[in-house]
């Protein structure tokens, strides 16, 4: 049986779109070593200093023939620039800082006039039904030595990205416990236990795309791909006045989140609404797609159609200052 396959770059993985007989499948393999920062197939390492990152970014932009934020990238010249694009996107991921979409507010004004979306882009306040009150700090579960090391590593990463910052006592603050959840890539995510705080958070029902909706989109012999947003929630800032409700203590130090944390009741709805104008534009161009928080499903009748969908979606997400 003849097998044709093409490769599409998203996030930190290479998406292989395959057509095998009447079936289509998508597989992923890593292209960047998280342990070494090394790009697969090369011996070059990306330097960590800010000046080196800026220089490397300039070089990479030059290497893709002046592709300004990927805007001029087309299906026809995509394959000749794969390696440079992978490194460019990897570098941007490494330079990520929390709440970054707020610095691109003027760009969002071109995408939408929805006041709720624009308010979220600037700095989202937590909408409460009642003022949160805490008469005692919750008891933190005991972690093993290995778990404690993982938590400390995660805290260090979050501090570097400015997702959290150390703080001091504030009147009315709300301190939550933390716990770990494993991720699909073998790493862990540190999450605030916001169950108690969520009792005071306003919740509005909303609709999300479902697996059944995606299945109904599929056609015989179609090609499929996915674009994932890196650190999706962390892109959205939380208002300074409300960060005191998102605090936790670790090893005698008090920290607070500066952006959307995992576990806050309002985040799924707000983020889903935030992405609606982003996915609207590719659909206007005739692309088939479905988004669910930080994941997306993209479809095309043929390889070229699917790749065009990936490129248009990637450009728009990149333009809105998400990292893919």
117 contact partners, CB below 8 Å, separation of at least 6:
108, 273, 274, 276, 277
Q: What is the mean pLDDT of residues 29-58?
A: 41
Three-class SS state of 290: strand
**Is residue 124 scored above 80 in pLDDT?**
yes
Complete edge-to-edge strand list for the sheet that includes strand 3-10:
3-10, 13-20, 23-30
Judged by average pLDDT, the poorest of 95-99, 112-116, 253-257 is: 95-99
Contact 300, 309 (CB under 8 A): yes
- Of 59-63, 206-210, 243-247, the poorest mean pLDDT is in 59-63
Three-state secondary structure call for residue 122:
helix
Placement of tokens 């882009």 in the chain: 121
What the block records as the tokens of 180 is: 């770990």
- Band (pLDDT 50/70/90 cuts) for residue 8 is very low
Mean pLDDT rounded to a whole number for the chain: 77
pLDDT at 11: 39
Question: Quick one: average pLDDT of 213-221?
Answer: 89
Residues 172-195 pLDDT 10s: 999 999 999 888 888 888 999 999
Tokens of 300: 């095309």
pLDDT tens per residue across span 255-306 = 999 999 999 999 999 998 888 888 888 888 888 888 877 788 899 999 999 9
DSSP state of 295: E
146: its two tokens: 């290995």
Q: Which of 67, 248, 271 is nearest to 173 (CA)?
A: 248
Residue 160 pLDDT grade (very low, low, confident, very high; cuts 50, 70, 90): very high
Cα–Cα distances (Å) from 29 to 3, 146, 185, in that order, read: 18, 28, 11
The structure's pTM equals 0.72
């Amino acid at each position: 049986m003849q097998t044709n396959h093409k490769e599409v770059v998203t996030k930190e993985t290479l998406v292989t779109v395959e057509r095998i007989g009447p079936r289509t499948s998508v597989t992923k393999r890593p292209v960047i070593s998280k342990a070494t920062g090394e790009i697969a197939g090369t011996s070059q390492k990306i330097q960590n200093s800010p000046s080196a990152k800026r220089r490397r970014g300039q070089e990479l932009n030059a290497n893709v023939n002046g592709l300004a934020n990927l805007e001029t990238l087309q299906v026809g010249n995509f394959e000749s620039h794969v390696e440079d694009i992978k490194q460019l996107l990897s570098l941007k991921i490494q330079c990520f800082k929390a709440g970054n979409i707020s610095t691109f507010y003027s760009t969002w004004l071109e995408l939408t006039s929805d006041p709720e979306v624009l308010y979220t882009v600037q700095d989202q306040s937590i909408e409460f039904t009642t003022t949160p009150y805490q008469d005692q700090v919750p008891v933190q579960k005991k972690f093993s030595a290995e778990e404690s090391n993982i938590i400390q590593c995660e805290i260090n990463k979050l501090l570097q990205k400015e997702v959290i910052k150390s703080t001091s006592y504030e009147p009315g603050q709300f301190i939550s416990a933390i716990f770990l959840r494993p991720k699909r890539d073998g790493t862990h995510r540190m999450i605030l236990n916001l169950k108690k705080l969520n009792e005071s958070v306003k919740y509005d029902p909303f609709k999300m795309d479902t697996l059944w909706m995606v299945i109904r989109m599929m056609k015989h012999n179609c090609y499929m791909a996915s674009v994932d947003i890196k650190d999706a929630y962390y892109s959205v800032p939380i208002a300074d006045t409300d960060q005191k409700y998102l605090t936790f203590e670790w090893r005698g130090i008090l920290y607070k989140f500066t952006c959307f944390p995992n576990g806050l009741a309002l985040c799924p709805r707000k983020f889903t609404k935030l992405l609606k104008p982003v996915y609207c534009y590719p659909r206007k161009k005739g692309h088939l797609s479905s988004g669910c928080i930080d994941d997306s499903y993209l479809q095309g009748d043929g390889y070229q159609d699917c790749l065009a969908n990936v490129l248009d979606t990637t450009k728009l997400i990149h333009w809105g200052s998400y990292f893919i």
